[in-house]
Chains A and B, each alone.
Chain A
Amino acid sequence: MHPAVVSRILGLFLMLFSITLLVPIVVSVAYTEDTAEAFFLAFAITFSLGMLMWLPFSRIDAELRTRDGFIITVLFWLALGLTGTLPLLLVDSLALSFSDALFESVSGITTTGGTVISGLDDLPRSILYYRQQLHFLGGIGIVVIAVAIMPMLGIGGMQLYRTEMVGPSKETKMTPRIAETAKALFLIYVILNAACTLAYWAAGMTFFDALTHSFSTVATGGFANYDSSIGQFDNNLIYAICIIFMVLSSISFGLHYYAWMRGTVFHYWRNPEAKAFLLILSGCSVVVCGYLFFARVYGIEQSVVHGIFQLVSITTTTGFATANFSAWPSFLPFFLLVMSFFGGCVGSTTGGVKMGRMLIMYKQVMRETARLVHPSGVFSMKVRNWAVPTRVTDAVWAFFGVYLAVYYLIVLLLLAAGMDFVTAWSATAASLNNLGPGLGDVAAHFGDLNAFSKWVLVAAMILGRLEIFTVLVLFSPMFWRR
């Protein structure tokens, strides 16, 4: 461990982050709002903080080790989550407490999308923009970490994605060096955002709405500029665009990169994870739409539109809403929240356990049943002609076990804080899976919770985003032993 190096890198991150705070100032000036001063102050504080951490160690150059990767990853989210609160605290008209500001900031940076603010329609545009920009930054951070860093650390069986697994061939290791990989991912991410913005704009949003909503769509975040979320636009074309981009953002960016380089799309279907994801989405759409129609919630058209949108929005852990799904017959809200555990594919911006791990666990279950039928049988677990080593299945099961344990721990803490069961259960799912909206008291926003619950949920969001083990490893004595 090199505290100096960690401080240097973190300082650099903070200075970079502070520069992004200049954009809301431009927005503020453009719409003649009175928030420019607050943003500038936040910029100054963050920048100097970064400088303070960077300057003394700027000349120190030491080799980073795998262990430092854990610390930097965790500190990166903590630091951004904390400094991200500054603009929210400094804008007087918001009048947010520190817990609220932290919740909002972490929810943005982890692309969760749960909010504590109500009355979004009347907020200054610079604030709205800033929230969405947090999604944008969080999204790219996740993709880079998920594709470049996590496989290196091997969290929850992610080493699987280091090599053969991601795509159709060896080339999906993308480019050899992390820096090159990160650049390639950034490019894909920006292209997706640009395409999404243009599509929204063409479909009838204002440019401001199109840009900001594309940030939260591609990051599978879920912040919207309106209290009624995407439902505000009441436009099927916009819903359709939103669905397409949510699905795209839930598929591994490694596959997108391959598509970009090779000009092909067939590899999506050949990738077992993407295939499983698309199949599950289509299968469940039929269930949701059918249930909505036969339970007479909506007519046929509305059932299809809201059914598919809500399913995709929640499975991809985005959390946009076109309808108040918490008021649907109780089978559906619970079904949808369970789907958010699946999440999207590994290497995307989604949260949850992720389809790749679910796939491995499913295959493991099939193998166990086969073993019972044929006691002398030898079975190998294959994902696309590639045998999965036991090391990976172990890690995946451990991850799943810890995920469930943490889940119930958080539910218990929330129950202790006085929440009712449905609210606690759904708020935990919404935070740990980085989804956003829950059921019961948190169906619309999280503003009415007490401060303790908010802190617990903030922890849940960070744990979920960092795949638990990244954080857990910092608490193991072995990690700190020299």
Chain B
Amino acid sequence: MKRALSLALMLGWEDVKQAYRRSAVGPFWITASMAVQIGAMGVVFGIIFKTSLFDYLPYLATSIILWSLVSTTVIDGCKAFIESEAMIKQLDISPFVYVFRVMLRNLITLAHNIVLIPLVFLVMWHPIGWQILLLVPGLALVVLNLTWMIVILAVLCARYRDVPQIVAAAFTIVYFVTPVMWQPSLVPSDTAHFLLGLNPFYHLLQLLRLPFLSAVPTAENWYLSIAMAVVGWLTARAVLKRFGKQIAYWM
């Protein structure tokens, strides 16, 4: 497992560096393009929702940056095995190397983006409370959940090559039903349970986002995310046990 992690970290770093090799500011293009996106959306939706930018921009910056971790990891996870075809066909290394590679690559991207949050908070003079400490267990739980999703999607996508497109399409819908740009409080309370409660990605996002917004994730957020991690990993293990050996044949 240790070797898998260090190999995955190396490959993951390489992936991040790869995209920005020939540019002067390097990987901080990730940060720059995220900043532009947040600025533009902040102004537009601030006007539409008629909220003050001082409240809305910190919320939006936190939401978009943390949501992008969840969504790009899942969409990226589909390619985990497909993109490593050459390696899979020649080397006998644990499939977790490819899974961790995707996870770590996205965490590295997050590390580039997350510097924007304190920046926005500073400019908007928005406080950060002690709740920020809850980010540690929250992030751990989210990563635990994202990795099992990568395992299952990567196997499925190796076998059925149209799944990545299906997942990408499905995720645009998830993006709209999850309160990323808009506040959860906008949902009428009678439909909140249905629209938010049943959306697993809402709970994951809350775990990541609320610590920044001086709030504590609810017990429901925690319990459901833990339950999801347990069930998800049991499923992922079963999937790998059943199909792990076949992946090489599907390449």
**Do A and B truly interact?**
no
Report which A residues bind B (CB closer than 8 A).
none
Report which B residues bind A (CB closer than 8 A).
none
